[in-house]
Amino acid sequence: MKFGKVIGRVVATQKVQSLIGAKLLIIQPLTKDLKEKLGEPCVAADVGINAGKGDIVFMVSGGDAPMIFDDTVVPVDISVVGIVDTANIEEV
């Protein structure tokens, strides 16, 4: 899982059937200590988490991303799986 900050939303009036009902969010990747990470923002699917602009979220990618959908054949690379309330990072 990785951290990111919601910086916007994608509106798509035409999309595959399996994405109907999913919010598409623009996410800026963050470092493990929740600082902005260098790199391009990405688009992530949000099904039922209801994250919004400014929220810090954690997300999964790759083969885990479609697993948030009931239908396992969904064309997504990244999915939001939760909103961060607090994060305590301790050096080991």
Per-residue pLDDT band for 72 (boundaries 50, 70, 90) equals low
Ramachandran sector of residue 69 (left: φ over 0; alpha: ψ -120 to 50; beta: rest) = beta
Transcribe 25-61 into DSSP letters.
EEEEEB-TTSPBPSS--EEEEESS----TT-EEEEEE
Least confident of 11-20, 31-40, 44-53, 78-87: 31-40
CATH number attached to the domain at 2-83: 2.40.50.220
Of 46 and 33, the structure prediction assigns the larger pLDDT to 46
pTM, to two decimals: 0.90
How far are the Cα atoms of 30, 45, 46, 79 from residue 82, in angstroms, in the given order?
15, 12, 9, 9
pLDDT at 90: 81
Per-residue pLDDT band for 88 (boundaries 50, 70, 90) equals confident
pLDDT at 91: 76
Q: Where are the domains of the chain?
A: 2-83
